[in-house]
Amino acid sequence: MSRKIPHRLYLTEEQMPKQWYNLRADMKEKPDPMLNPATLQPVRAEDLYPVFCEKLAQQEMDNETRFIDIPEEIQDFYKMYRPSPLIRAFNLEKALDTPARIYYKFEGNNTSGSHKLNSAIAQAYYAKEQGLTSLTTETGAGQWGTALAEACSYYNLPLTVYMVKCSYEQKPFRKIVMETFGANVVPSPSNMTNVGRAILANDPDTGGSLGCAISEAIEKAVTTEGCRYVLGSVLNQVLLHQSIIGLESKQALELLDEYPDIVIGCAGGGSNLGGLIAPFMQDKLLGRLSPKIVAVEPASCPSFTRGVYAYDFCDTGKVTPLARMYTLGSGFMPSPSHAGGLRYHGMSPILSKLYHDGYMEAVSVEQTKVFEAAVLFAKQETILPAPESAHAIRTAIDEALRCKESGEAKTILFGLTGTGYFDMTAYNSFNTKSMVDYIPSDEDLQRSFTNLPKV
């Protein structure tokens, strides 16, 4: 008996989105503006030009344009690895014995191994268009760095990547992938920047953090001619580019006559989550439908669930504008949990606002539980997930098990952001039962909050 519903649904190239969706256009209350930390005045696009490419700075500030055309050249690049499949997790459902229908949008079928390429190619394109001659960035798990290395190699743009030191050490092969695409990879904190040297002086053995790597990449960009900084998450522009994930997902579900009761994404800086939920959140903002939307974060770095909603620096070195967001404090140094891509002290200002206003929920999960889910998923669905993505799997499984108890046949959609091929050190520590869970104490968090800027 053949199933009518396909395991994997690919849109055709004609069906692929030709515009990104800008969630801010439909928010009645917009995210609070970024502030200049010296003057506490709202930042204008022009103020960002020394750091960001101009077109991207404009996208960052644009709260009004609902749909933004994807340049033809980026559409063509997307076609090399998109559309990504929407997959029905038939085998996982069977293993869980749940009446729930579980779908996942799989973004890992490209060499960067994640959704990050969606924004990387856009940012490299606009940089090239402006005539820039080099870029800098940071990377945590290495997925963003790999994606940007691919994109920069495509446009022959030299790239320096500051890689969070503990990831650099856990993932030697990630570095080689980036180098294969021509990038210069530097472990952060490094002694190549003032901010790196200051952090090392204070704590020579630090494993680093995304916040710290961001500071270094910005310092390098603003002190180098023709160079700009690009960021793979948190920013409004990134969520805009990543909306292609949600747009494709929604369209594919419509072809199956489905609409999700629950949408689940892992949340580090918010790039995947913001992209995945965008069109579903639109339905909610416009009062058309009200899916449950869940952010999943690691218990080791719980910005939504244990952070405060406040103005804070986006980096450790305090060189960025202030953004109002859920934050653990820019000085927060997460323990070296393996989900390197989720080790960021803050959260996308858009998502922070939506969470604050009650449009979405958040849960935090411990990594041993996350890897249990990852291995179960891998064995059932033949895809080895990235630890980051496995946070969403954990919560999707928990929701499906709740459906089993209640007997409800809910439709669950989650984002499978990427593959775990470069996370085998983490899998090994899980396989050999040497993995431990890190949870910051209340005292640690309170101490971190005292350093928030006074606004």
Binding site for a second copy (CB under 8 A): 1-3, 6-8, 10, 12-13, 72, 75-77, 79-81, 87, 90-91, 109-111, 113, 117, 150, 153-154, 172-173, 176-177, 179-182, 375, 378-384, 419, 421-422, 424-425, 427-428, 431
Q: Within 286-410, where are the H helices?
A: 303-306, 349-356, 367-381, 387-406
Q: Are 251 and 15 in contact (CB under 8 A)?
A: yes
Question: Angle formed by the axes of helices 367-381 and 424-431, to 10°?
Answer: 100
- Measured between alpha carbons, how far is 211 from 385 in angstroms, rounded to an integer? 25
**Angle made by CA atoms 309, 291, 257, in degrees to the nearest 5:** 150
Q: Per the structure block, which two tokens stand in for 392?
A: 């969403």
Task: Round to the nearest angstrom and report the end-to-end CA distance of the chain.
Answer: 64
**CA distance to 97, 400, 401, 404, per residue, from 94 (Å):** 5, 11, 11, 11
How near is the Cβ of 250 to a second copy at its closest, in Å?
A: 20
With respect to a second copy, which residue has the nearer C-beta, 13 or 46?
Answer: 13
With respect to a second copy, which residue has the nearer C-beta, 202 or 382?
Answer: 382
Q: Which of 238, 242, 283, 244 is nearest to 260 (CA)?
A: 283
How near is the Cβ of 14 to a second copy at its closest, in Å?
A: 8
How near is the Cβ of 109 to a second copy at its closest, in Å?
A: 5
With respect to a second copy, which residue has the nearer C-beta, 181 or 414?
Answer: 181
Q: Are 390 and 370 in contact (CB under 8 A)?
A: yes
With respect to a second copy, which residue has the nearer C-beta, 182 or 453?
Answer: 182
How near is the Cβ of 100 to a second copy at its closest, in Å?
A: 18
With respect to a second copy, which residue has the nearer C-beta, 249 or 303?
Answer: 249
Q: Are 18 and 69 in contact (CB under 8 A)?
A: yes
**CA distance to 30, 38, 136, per residue, from 34 (Å):** 12, 12, 22
Cα atoms in the 13 Å half-sphere on the side-chain side of 240 = 28
With respect to a second copy, which residue has the nearer C-beta, 6 or 37?
Answer: 6
How near is the Cβ of 82 to a second copy at its closest, in Å?
A: 9
Cis peptide before 71 (omega within 30 of 0): no
How near is the Cβ of 122 to a second copy at its closest, in Å?
A: 14
With respect to a second copy, which residue has the nearer C-beta, 40 or 255?
Answer: 255
With respect to a second copy, which residue has the nearer C-beta, 104 or 311?
Answer: 104
How near is the Cβ of 381 to a second copy at its closest, in Å?
A: 6
- For the chain, the farthest-separated pair of C-alpha atoms sits apart, in whole angstroms, at 68
Q: In what order do the strands lie in the sheet with 184-188?
A: 184-188, 159-164, 134-139, 227-229
How near is the Cβ of 17 to a second copy at its closest, in Å?
A: 13
With respect to a second copy, which residue has the nearer C-beta, 12 or 202?
Answer: 12
How near is the Cβ of 124 to a second copy at its closest, in Å?
A: 12
Specify the amino acid at residue 244: I
